[in-house]
Amino acid sequence: MADPGPDPLAEIRNSFFVECEELLESLQDALTDLQAGSSDPETINTAFRAVHSIKGGAGAFALEELVGFAHRFESVMDTLRSGAGVAGETDTAALFRAADMLADLVRAARDGLPAPPGREAILAELERQSASAPPREAGFPTGLPSSPSERPVFVPVKLDIAGLAPAGHQPDQSGNGTGAPGSGTAQSPPGVWTIRLRPHDALFETGNDVVHVLRVLQSLGPSVIRCDTSGLPEFDDLRLLESHLSWTVELEGNVPEADILDTFEFIEGLCEISIRSGRTSPGAVSSGPDQDDPGTNPVDPGDARDGADPGRSGVTPGAERPAPPASPTITFSDRHQSLSAGGVSAISDAATVRVALERIDRLVNQVGELVINQAMLAQSMAEAGIGSGSPVAAGIDALSVLIRDIQDSVMMIRAQPVKPLFQRAARILRESAASVGKEIRLVTEGEATEIDKTVIERLADPLTHMIRNAVDHGIEDAVTRRACGKTDQGTIRLSARHRSGRVLIEVADDGRGIDRAAVLRKAEERGLVAADAGLTESEIDNLIFLPGFSTAATVSNLSGRGVGMDVVRRAIAAMGGRISIATELGAGTTFTISLPLTLAVMDGMVITAGGETLVLPLSCIVETAIISRRDLAWIGAGSVLVRLRDAYVPVIDLGSALGLASPKDGLAGATAILVADEDGSRAALVVDRINEQRQIVIKGLGGAIGGMPGVAAATILGDGRVALILDPAELIGRRTQTTEAEALLKAG
Amino acid sequence: MTLRVLAVDDSRTIRDLLRMALSEAGHAVALAEDGQQGLNLLDETDPDVIISDINMPRLDGFGFIEAVRARDRFRATPILILTTESAPELKARARAAGATGWIVKPFDAAKLIRAIDMVAG
Amino acid sequence: MKSPDGTTHRAELELLSFRLGEQDFCVDIRTIREIRGWTRATPLPHAPPWLRGLINLRGTVLPVIDLSSRLGMAPVVPDARNVIIVAEVATRQTGLLVDAVSDIVTVSPEALQPPPALGDCQGAGCVAGLAVIDDRMLRLLDLHAVLAPELGVTA
């Protein structure tokens, strides 16, 4: 146990916990199907197997609390699958709670933490519910024939141990008729056992072979084995699956009785066995042959199989089985390797490999370095005056295409389905709905949608918060719902889908919707917006993302921990994502999160503004233009608009907006980039110049600095310098907020 | 003596443990994750011993054992079942299907190797 | 008892000392990852004045703090002679822009004097103690406190 260095068992232990997560996931799926009314017996079987497998693995690592819980959980599920069934939502609620507890136990075991409390209550409730179901035949679960007569006969045979048998014990129960038992006991040397063995025909039907038993007996101590061939019929009468031989083993060396008994574990009931203390008298093996009979000569167990093994003819040993290949081990190992390399899923549609995440991350980083190096090379070439028509330039172009493909492939490795995220959300929903006493159904769509693993991880907290919000503030209580003509049960819809290189995640509820008047009033009370700001509906909706805003009249214990939607928005913005809201009073609210597929690369436009090199995500750029004087328009003193594509959009002098330079003197003739955010809000960003369009390796700002408004992340350019990646949506929003602040200032 | 062992279990952890213990004992191991896959691998792997779980998707242990026994070539191949409880009823049913013996989980390497010794070697 | 770094049996502190303007400072050497020359940092918009910007540290983006400005002194006007001390606090690396690195000194904890009450001036909470070595007073910085706003610890 304390062996340092690579420990294969520790590796398997780690992999066990990974498997547990998969099993917990399929358990959740099965329970969700049950809840939805699935009557497919395979559904409950799947759930049973998941718990059973967790128990099995936990047993191997002596995780007693996990084993104990899983065992009782499994038993209940066993009862259910034997026919009691699951009667809808009430039953599944208890099952879900048990599944959640099982998940907690798994994680506690994994992290070496104490097992969470409350297990007994959950199990008791579960068992109470299943106890009201008709009891099932005790014993093994999978549809065992219930009538005893249908069951295969297996009556454990008491072993006849003369020397040890208590008084009154009927010694000859095995019925081998070998004469007076125990007669030789007294005069035999101590520590000698005489064991007699006569297989029934049935022994061979189970693949058992006396030879192995004899060999194990032999390994226990010095022994003499005799084979009695007297029962052997004439060759012509010989039948393959009939047993004709019996054996006698004299075993010395003070072998404990239990060890001998263990040897017969598998063939108990399949043969006549007698075990006596002491040496047998010659000729007592059976009534037939005497000691000189060739049939009773001491035999090597290796010879014994010839007469008894039904897989062989008895005449030409081993002839039926093809000779093993010259190097069977290697052939076999190869097979084994190809199996395990394929995640032991040779039959599955897609073979998988498990790889340590850090290896992938290293690869991602290296590919990132490759992209940067390629950019540096291209830059040096440009500086050296190598023209684009040269073979070198063509080679570089080909290289960049290749690198891009590699990058896409690497990113695909990191992509994972959002399903675990959704399952976590489902649990949050169950727990929070239960705690506020609301009945809420979760509908999920697009669980198979894949996003970068890191995005999934960082999405967990915002999503949790949004689900709690929807449960707390979105969905009304049953009474209110009924009064509105809605069903008692509320619905929260969680969906994921890909759209034009991004992932959209929606959290939609069919609750009360956002009361804009109330939001506005609250925002005014808090001084977040001027009384006469004249905000549009969309602008009012977006007020809930402002720091410190909360619409909850009473701060509920669930989502009201001083964290609001502003935190959600910031977390999502830190991933290069955006969140938008659509709401209708009385009908519900939909939050849409738009995220990049990966946090590692993106297509960007490299620009210069305020003397600094900056990057704009290509995805938000609508077009670029040179501002013409006649397209400019002013509103009051501060706000400048420019007409682009027949619409006036606000102008943002990027260098000055970012505080990098003083405002430009004149905007006419300046280069502008028209950007749009998810809501369709647009702005024209005035820049010094546009440099190039290329792939950008995204580097995190390292947490806290991510709070910088308008800055999404950073990258390293071809010259080795760090350049900031901007978030245009934030820039547009910031301008709006600044305007508000100015308005507020004027009003105050 | 190196034996070719075909181990069938739907739990990856159990498969890993089996592989580790069997490989350490010098046996060659092939793994399958359910009865159906086990059957598909029979001819290719030509096992000396088969170890099989009972509760598995697609084709459970009983069905798997019966199917193995129906093949002449594997009529006498030792088959050990893996079971968590040593329920007599389970063993009886497995034996009726043609199982040779059983290994009670949780198993350690010694227990596993001993069970194999009792049916093959 | 061995100290966490396992190098010494007595709880002696190894300190990296450096200069900021006319003052001597030091930090626990175990928090230091490397020392590198000054390169221009990419400025961050609307950043506090002491947050100098970002530099490329072998492929990762490293925020650089003007320690002088952070402690309420005049901002450094960096040139090629300035150095960046790369420190790791709370698993995050940060660059500290200083004038020059002086020395590595060893002091026993008893030789450390608690910082005098400095009132509410900027950077007051950043000094964890004072050590006098060869008539020089070294101000021992508490990097957690120095980096607190940058780490987002205080809010």
What pLDDT sits at residue C123?
63
Q: Is residue C8 part of a domain?
A: no
Joined tokens for residue B45: 């792997």
- Secondary element (H or E) of residue A694: strand A689-697
- Average pLDDT estimate for A154-158: 41
Q: What is the biggest distance separating any 2 CA atoms in chain C, rounded to whole angstroms? A: 48
Same domain as A514, residue A389: no
- A615 pLDDT higher than 90: yes
What pLDDT sits at residue C64?
92
Q: Is residue C88 part of a domain?
A: yes
Same domain as A621, residue A693: yes
What pLDDT sits at residue B52?
92
Smallest CA–CA distance, residue A527 to chain C, in Å, is: 21
What pLDDT sits at residue A159?
44
- Average pLDDT estimate for A279-286: 49
Quick one: pLDDT band at residue A103, thresholds 50, 70, 90?
very high
Q: Which of A504-518, A547-561, A630-644, B34-48 has the lowest mean pLDDT?
A: A547-561
Same domain as A743, residue A615: yes
Distance CA A593, CA A446 (A): 14
Quick one: pLDDT band at residue A538, thresholds 50, 70, 90?
confident
Same domain as A120, residue A201: no
Same domain as A432, residue A410: no
- Average pLDDT estimate for A488-492: 92
Quick one: pLDDT band at residue A266, thresholds 50, 70, 90?
confident
Distance CA C153, CA A184 (A): 87
The mean pLDDT value of chain A amounts to: 74
Quick one: pLDDT band at residue A312, thresholds 50, 70, 90?
very low
Q: A183-236: per-residue pLDDT in tens?
A: 344 444 557 888 888 888 777 778 887 777 888 888 888 888 888 777 777 767
- C134 pLDDT higher than 60: yes
Q: What is the dihedral of CA C1, C6, C12, C16, to 10 degrees?
A: -160
Q: Do A724 and C55 touch (CB under 8 A)?
A: no
What pLDDT sits at residue C42?
92
What pLDDT sits at residue B86?
61
All domains in chain B, ordered by first residue: 4-86+98-117 (3.40.50.2300)
**How big is the A-B interface in CB pairs under 8 Å?**
176
What pLDDT sits at residue A303?
44
Quick one: pLDDT band at residue C10, thresholds 50, 70, 90?
low
- A670 pLDDT higher than 70: yes
Joined tokens for residue A714: 């950073």
Smallest CA–CA distance, residue A609 to chain C, in Å, is: 12
Kindly report the CATH number assigned to the domain that includes residue A743.
2.40.50.180
Q: Is residue C84 part of a domain?
A: yes
Distance CA A505, CA A274 (A): 72
Does any CB of chain A come closer than 8 Å to the CB of residue B106? yes
The answer, yes or no, to whether B and A have at least 3 beta-carbon pairs within 8 Å is: yes
Portion 122-151 of A in contact with B at CB < 8 A? 139-142, 144, 151
Quick one: pLDDT band at residue C87, thresholds 50, 70, 90?
very high
Query: Considering only CB atoms, which chain B residues are within 8 Å of A336?
Result: 19, 28-31
C-alpha angle with apex A680: A530 to A568, nearest 5 degrees? Answer: 65
Angle between helix axes A419-436 and A453-469 (nearest 10 degrees) is 20
Which of the 8 DSSP states describes residue A728? Answer: H
- A674 pLDDT higher than 50: yes
> Which member of B14, B20, B117 has the closest CB to residue A8?
B20
Kindly report the CATH number assigned to the domain that includes residue A507.
3.30.565.10
C-alpha angle with apex B100: B98 to B103, nearest 5 degrees? Answer: 125
Q: Is residue C6 part of a domain?
A: no
Q: Which of A112, A144, A176 is the last residue of a domain?
A: A144
Quick one: pLDDT band at residue A341, thresholds 50, 70, 90?
very low
Quick one: pLDDT band at residue A735, thresholds 50, 70, 90?
low
Q: Give the SS3 label for residue B73.
A: helix
Distance CA A366, CA A356 (A): 16
**H helix runs in B3-118, sequence order:** 12-24, 35-45, 61-69, 88-97, 109-117
- A123 pLDDT higher than 90: no
Q: Do A340 and B88 touch (CB under 8 A)?
A: no
List, as one string, the DSSP characters of A603-641. EEEEEEETTEEEEEEGGGEEEEEEPPGGGEEEETTTEEE
Segments forming the whole domain that contains residue C48: 14-151
- A659 pLDDT higher than 90: no
Q: Which residue of A has its CA nearest to B100?
A: A206
| Domains held by chain C: number | 1
What pLDDT sits at residue A543?
80
Same domain as A287, residue A210: yes
Q: Is residue C36 part of a domain?
A: yes
- A555 pLDDT higher than 60: no
What pLDDT sits at residue A506?
94
CA A35 to chain centre: 21
Mutation test of the interface with chain B: which of A14, A347, A353, choosing the one with the most B Cβ atoms within 10 A? A347
Range of A152-156, A734-738, C77-81 with top mean pLDDT: C77-81
| Residues B106 and B94 sit within 8 Å (Cβ to Cβ) | no
What pLDDT sits at residue A445?
92
The 3-state DSSP composition of chain C as helix, strand, coil percent (nearest 5) reads: 15, 45, 40
C-alpha angle with apex A251: A250 to A257, nearest 5 degrees? Answer: 120
Q: Which amino acid is at A210?
A: V
> Which member of A704, A711, A721 has the closest CB to residue C56?
A721
CA A65 to chain centre: 22
| Domains held by chain A: number | 5
- Average pLDDT estimate for A655-669: 85
Segments forming the whole domain that contains residue A35: 8-144
Same domain as A283, residue A250: yes
Q: Do A699 and C42 touch (CB under 8 A)?
A: no
Q: Is residue A115 part of a domain?
A: yes
Q: Which residue of B has its CA nearest to A9?
A: B17
Q: Is residue A13 part of a domain?
A: yes
What pLDDT sits at residue A679?
61
Q: Which amino acid is at C117?
A: A
- A3 pLDDT higher than 80: no
Same domain as A553, residue A541: yes
For A83, A111, A492, C95, the CA distances from A428, given in Å and listed in that order, are: 31, 21, 12, 40
Q: Give the SS3 label for residue B27.
A: coil
Which of the 8 DSSP states describes residue A699? Answer: B
Same domain as A544, residue A668: no
Portion 274-313 of A in contact with B at CB < 8 A? 309-311
> Which member of C45, C59, C151 has the closest CB to residue A658?
C45
Distance CA A423, CA A444 (A): 9
Q: A422-449: per-residue pLDDT in tens?
A: 988 998 898 889 888 888 999 999 998 8
Same domain as A186, residue A43: no
- Average pLDDT estimate for A529-550: 76
Q: Give the SS3 label for residue A124.
A: helix
Q: Which of A415, A443, A463 is the last residue of a domain?
A: A415
Which of the 8 DSSP states describes residue A705? Answer: G
| Residues A708 and C44 sit within 8 Å (Cβ to Cβ) | yes
What ipTM did this prediction achieve?
0.86
Direct distance between the N- and C-terminal alpha carbons of chain A, in angstroms, rounded to an integer: 72
Same domain as A56, residue A110: yes
**How big is the A-C interface in CB pairs under 8 Å?**
66
Does any CB of chain A come closer than 8 Å to the CB of residue B111? no
What pLDDT sits at residue A190?
59
- Average pLDDT estimate for C90-94: 82
Same domain as A304, residue A167: yes
List, as one string, the DSSP characters of A176-202. ---SSTTTTTTTSPTT-EEEEEEE-HH
- Average pLDDT estimate for A381-402: 83
Q: Which of A399, A415, A431 is the last residue of a domain?
A: A415
| Residues A52 and B55 sit within 8 Å (Cβ to Cβ) | yes
The mean pLDDT value of chain B amounts to: 86
Q: Which residue of C has its CA nearest to A654?
A: C45
| Residues C137 and C131 sit within 8 Å (Cβ to Cβ) | yes
Q: Is residue A340 part of a domain?
A: no
Kindly report the CATH number assigned to the domain that includes residue A51.
1.20.120.160
Q: Is residue A40 part of a domain?
A: yes
Does any CB of chain B come closer than 8 Å to the CB of residue A374? no
Residue of A380, A706, A172, A48 whose CA lies nearest to B10: A48
Quick one: pLDDT band at residue A283, thresholds 50, 70, 90?
very low
Q: A457-468: per-residue pLDDT in tens?
A: 889 889 988 998
Distance CA A671, CA A684 (A): 9
| Residues A701 and C54 sit within 8 Å (Cβ to Cβ) | yes
| Residues B54 and B89 sit within 8 Å (Cβ to Cβ) | no
Q: Do B89 and A139 touch (CB under 8 A)?
A: yes
Strand partners, C35: C85
